[in-house]
Structure 1
Amino acid sequence: MGLRSGLRRAGHPAEGTSSRPADGPAPAPPGTAAAAPRRTGWLVPDGEGRLSAYAAGRGGGIVRWTESATRPYAWTPPELLLADGRILPYLSVARGPRGYIDLFAMRRKGGGPESPVEIVYASQYQAGRPLTGWHSIGNPQGRDAAPAASIGAPVAVVDGSGKVHVFVRSATGGVFTRRRSQHGTWSKWTALPCEGVREGLSPVVTGSGRVELLMPADDGVYVWRQAKPGVPLERAPDLAYTARPESVSGIGSYEDRVTHFWRDDATGEVVAHRLTESGGEDTAPDGLAALDGRSGRGPVALSRCDVDGHDCTVLAQADGSGTLAVSAYPTELESAGAWWTDTREPCEGAPALARDRAGRLVVAAIGREGGLSVTRQRTDQQGMALKAWSRV
């Protein structure tokens, strides 16, 4: 396949793209500068495959970019939606089976940093259309002011039955969850029996619609799984590894499995781990596969796409130098090796990957000035080649 030699640095202009100016990207328009994403998964398709990118605004609210419905490679200018200075610079994006989007954020109830927060969400039912207003689902710590001001960032996911699952780390290292039914009814907050959990919970939906949740913790990695879509999660055996906080992500692979990635707590290198459907480990003899040890930070963005006729898993990370690096290997064949290539594009926070309407990989990054840059897979060359970066 030539993945190692074929993974070329973006920067070769191609039809329909434009490279950024020689002096670097211009600042984002006033009011639309995005905060550095703490999570990946913020580039998502609607029900017809049209992509939208979402980020928390630096001054509150949501910044959104949307692919044009008619012009190839074109995007709308950034929009600031639901502006509210009480919204903290964090966002979790959950996409349902029909392409509906729920955006989860945190909102301060008062003006000070010690004020309690509430978890809020807004919904989008069609690409480029207005969002609903913010709706509050409260705080699992209730009226206890100090813990309510110190909860972790919410993460959300939609299972194959259409149920929305929200997970929140408590101020003391526990985890709470709340679910919304297909009919819009929310359950009460429920505590999952665990302790010592670190920030950066990572829920992933399998091909059959099951949710698999990994929790980095002080004494291992905790695993919670659904037996089938629509039912509560149950705890699986813990993993005897230690992951850095806010470094875990995952992607569905073959036969209803999930491949999880995190940064080793001691070395910071990216490792891969996979559970079988029955819960056993299936990546290497000891269950863990280390990828090329390039330095980086935060969670890796993940997608699958076709490269030279092979189903490949593509990874993107914020490199140690502050730019975006990409890697790829045949899906579930970590033994083939995964070598990082620096694209030299500035990347603040976690990048994002998705496939467009034609099935091509799209890579997205938030730059230092809070603007969006994207590049797209080239299909006229061998290997994992990318077009020129384009500033949206």
Structure 2
Amino acid sequence: MRRRSAGPVGTSGPDGRGTADQGRVASGAAHGDWLTLGKDRRLTLYAPTEGGLLRWTETAVGGPGWSGPHFVPVAGLTHLTVARGADSYVHFLGRRERTAADGTPGVDVVHAIQYQTGLAVTDWRSLGNPHQDREQAGKLGPPVGAIASDGTVHVFVRGAHGGLMLRREAPNGKWRAWEDLHGAGLDALPAPVALAGGRIEICAAAETGVLIWRQTAPGGDFSGPRGFSLRPAPGTVAAVETGPDRPTFFWTDTESGGAAAWRAGGSPTALGASPAVRPYAVLRTSLDGYDCVALAYRDRDGSAVLGMGGTENESAGFWWYGLSEPCQGAPALARDGRDRVVMALIGPDGVPKVARQEDGAGLSLGGWQRL
């Protein structure tokens, strides 16, 4: 992928880092990797707000200090997804609604990039809408993204007819036309995963069960959808690579009401816990020398829950901890520059909170820090 110009947004401050605005609060949680680790090993947290997005950045590796919020304006933004590439570039995907000069509404997908921690966000570029008809265009779902290991950006969105649409970069850095990957009755938030070998897979809850698309080779076409008679709750599916070129998908099972883990070729493994109402945050990490997966979600009472278990060893047990911390949307998980697990959430008042892994066995979080 060719590197684009990293011009700042129009209302950035004189240092190009955004406009500091202590009066703004988040309007909810973004989708995807909204807590990310940069090349310089500092974390950054992103959240949507009225008229754009907010950004908080660690002032030193491992914290505890943070700068921000810095406001990045994006007029008309209705949904925000954050996707981090293997190169640590942070990609922003938004669904935007605007009113044309003649008064007619318009919907498009927009994209921007932050190349370096705490520095400017590029200009927002419209990726258009796969539908020409205005009524159909208005039914476009929120975009989700996956960044291939070579840096190629893939944008997936549920179309007006309930199928999956794709727009992605070409090898020369330009954008290809929208592609129809078909399917029907999809949930609004399909779950793509970029695998280390270069391929991308997508899992989506659908009215008929689960649909899977697999990229045939890095940069290649997508096969599918292949259907499976499984019952994930809409809006809860998440994915992470747990083995070489092999993803595991997590969701809330509609029959049991608890979390489940599934890999193609097998049966779902029940993980217990209460039902999630948003996609799970998923992080693969090392705990006490063991390869583990950590999950976090918002339960029906609006509180955050944290869980952990062995990677691809879910049947050995999953351990859950109710945190008694209310939150908006789904929490986020990441590792900081000292390889500690960090959990972030957006409080009911729109203020983010973070908690870090404490020293000792297992996964225990310290006190919550308001940013």
Same fold (TM over 0.5): yes
Question: Which residues of 2 match residues 268-347 of structure 1 at below 5 A?
Answer: 268-275=257-264, 281-282=265-266, 287-347=267-327
For structure 1, list consecutive stretches of 5 or more residues without a partner in the other structure.
1-27, 276-280
- For 2:83, what is the secondary structure of its paired residue? strand
1:360 to 337, 340, 348: 340
Give the structure 2 partner of residue 167 of structure 1: 156
Select 1:60's aligned residue among 51, 63, 72: 51
Secondary structure of the 1:133 match is coil
Q: CA 1:136–1:99 in 2, change beyond 3 Å: closer, same or farther?
A: same
Per-residue deviation at 1:203? 0.3
Match runs of 1:190-339 below 5 Å: 190-235=179-224, 237-275=226-264, 281-282=265-266, 287-339=267-319
Paired position in structure 1 for 2:365: 386
Per-residue displacement from partner, 1:163-220 (whole Å, max 9, x unpaired)?
A: 1111110122112111113542000011112112121110011232321101111101
The reply on whether 1:44 has 2:28 as its aligned counterpart is no
- Separation in 2, partners of 1:113, 1:373: 40
Normalized per residue, the structure richer in strand is 2
Q: What is the deviation of 1:36? A: 2.0
CA contact (8 A) 1:177 1:192 kept: yes
CA distance in 2, matches of 1:79, 1:333: 41
Aligned with residue 128 of structure 1, among 113, 118, 121: 118
Conservation of the 8 A alpha-carbon contact between 1:201 and 1:216 = yes
Q: Which runs of 5+ in 2 are unaligned?
A: 1-20
- Letter of the 1:344 counterpart: S
SS at match of 2:136: helix
Identify which range, 91-100 or 216-225, moves more after superposition. Answer: 91-100
- Taking structure 1 as the reference length, the TM-score comes to 0.85
Alignment partner, residue 106 of structure 2: 116
**Structure 1 pair 376/224, CA: closer, same or farther in 2 (3 Å)?**
same
Residues 162 and 182 of structure 1 are in contact (CA less than 8 Å); yes or no, is this contact kept in structure 2? Answer: no
Q: Residue by residue, what CA displacement relative to the aligned partner does 1:66-96 show, whole Å, maximum 9, x if unpaired?
A: 1124673221121111242x121x2111222
Counterpart Cα distance in 1 of 2:103 and 2:326: 30
AA aligned to 2:23 is: P
CA distance in 1, matches of 2:145, 2:276: 25
| Aligned-pair Cα RMSD in Å | 2.0
Runs (4+) off by over 4 Å: 111-114
Q: Following TM superposition, by how much is the alpha carbon of 1:107 offset from its aligned partner in structure 2, in angstroms?
A: 1.4
State the SS of the aligned residue for 1:141: coil
Cα distance in 1, alignment partners of residues 330 and 123 from structure 2: 26
Structure having greater relative contact order (Cα 8 Å, sep ≥ 6): 1
Deviations 1:219-251 (A, max 9, x none): 011101123322222226322112222111011
Return the alpha-carbon distance in structure 2 between the equivalents of residues 70 and 50 of structure 1. Answer: 5
Contact 1:158 1:164 (8 Å CA) reproduced: yes
Q: Is the 8 A contact 1:162 1:181 kept in 2?
A: no
Q: What is the number of residues matched between the two proteins?
A: 350
TM-score normalised according to structure 2 size: 0.89
Q: 1:72 aligned to 2:63?
A: yes
AA aligned to 1:129 is L
Alignment check: 8 A CA contact 2:203 2:213 kept = yes
Q: Which amino acid aligns with 1:42?
A: W
Matched residue SS, 2:278? strand
Partner residue in 2 for 1:139: 129
Aligned identity (percent) is: 36
